[in-house]
Amino acid sequence: MTKEIKSLTGLRGIAALWVVLLHFIYVVNFQTENLFLDAGNQFLKKGNLGVDMFFMLSAFVMCLAYQNVFNVRFSFKDIKDYLLKRFIRIYPAYIFWLLLAAFVYKKWSLKVIGVNLMLSQNFFDPNEFVINSVFWSLCAEWWMYMIFPFVFYFLKKANSKKNMSIVFVAFATLLGLYVLPNFNLYFIGNNGLVIKEYDNQFSIVYGINSMVRSLLCYLLGIALFFISINGRIGLDKLFGGTKSIYILLTSIILLSFFRNTEIFIIVCLALLIMSLYVNKDLENIFSKKIIYFLGLISYSLYLLHTTLRFIITVVVMKIFKIPVEAADLPSMLLALILVIPLAYLSYIYIENKTGVWLKAKLLVKPSEKNSPEKELSNIQGSI
């Protein structure tokens, strides 16, 4: 039975907080001659890589949870139970915050809501079908859930034949992430397939390209798992001790202050995940209580933060009768104060209580109470 690795949960919390800071504070097209201000803005911009980290972590942790399920062979019941658990994990909180966002942003079209409820919005015109821009990653991850058992099984078979083949997969995914921003975007419009030129930004949040981005990160996460459990590669010698964790964390922070360093940060994030796994029994900054707490609420934190910011901005504008520019700073500060308490309430009452009720109704049998899925449920969420 696999025990939860608290430091990986904590890493999710830091990634979620990084994304929140990106959406709350980062200034688009920021122009300044002050190198320190520009570096700070670049650090915030790199928060988009928090989503790539979520994808890698999700794949890595699901490998831990399901390595003995999707192993030599698996049945239709295994797939059904797995997808039901994934549904119970992400849909209650997603539906709540989706419907609230639809009300707030006045996007009540049944067609738009239907596409978002089916988590298919990434395939369609973002100007018409996006209710909340951050929900793109939920769509991407749901589709990754559906193919995960088959990808895991295939890579496990490939890894059992040649030890270095999985290392090749890891390098291939990194290369794919590096070149992906150079391609045009593809999505379905009212008149069929739309091809749109892209501005070569590393963050791709809609279109078929966004699904490719998530797939590459998932493949990398699965590859990291097989590399981590391969005793012949010698990760214990390379990453043994918490020193490697802090070296990688420092490298990520420093790289984030500079432009065009995204692929190097992803490499460091990948190595950090492996380092945390290798040192899973050692106390480190990511397993501290406050960081672990952020990891527990990270899914709700991600889901609600942009809607909360919008609501507060509108309320401040109406109460004080000021334009959006004047309301931006006070609304941002108030949102930063409220976002974690609200995420905690969402985690307790929507994720946990609703999830427990649904499991009791749809899934859980007495023999499943101590399953690996239950043990790892806190770090298998979706962002």
What percentage of the chain reaches a pLDDT higher than 70?
A: 90
- CB count, 10 Å around CB of 173? 23
**CA distance linking residue 331 with residue 250, whole number of Å:** 31
Identify the pLDDT of residue 365.
Answer: 59
Identify the pLDDT of residue 34.
Answer: 77
State how many domains the chain has: 1
Identify the pLDDT of residue 364.
Answer: 54
- Assess contact for 272 and 249: CB atoms under 8 A: yes
Residue 116 domain-assigned (yes or no): yes
Q: Using alpha carbons, list the distances in angstroms from residue 262 to 37, 58, 115, 199, 266.
A: 19, 20, 31, 15, 6
CA dihedral 56, 166, 6, 91 (to 10 degrees): 40
Backbone angles phi, psi at 225, to 5 degrees: -60, -50
* CB neighbour list of residue 292: distance below 8 Å, 6 or more residues apart: 6, 9, 10, 13, 286
Identify the pLDDT of residue 73.
Answer: 74
Identify the pLDDT of residue 70.
Answer: 87
- Assess contact for 131 and 113: CB atoms under 8 A: yes
Indicate the range of 37-51, 160-174, 207-221 predicted with least confidence: 160-174
Q: Where are the alpha helices (DSSP H) in 27-131?
A: 35-45, 49-66, 76-104, 110-117, 126-129
pTM for the structure as a whole: 0.92
Q: Using alpha carbons, list the distances in angstroms from residue 199 to 20, 56, 180.
A: 23, 25, 12
Identify the pLDDT of residue 366.
Answer: 45
Residue 241 domain-assigned (yes or no): yes
Residue 1 domain-assigned (yes or no): no
- List the domain range (segments joined by +) for residue 185: 6-379
- DSSP SS3 for 261: coil
Residue 349 domain-assigned (yes or no): yes
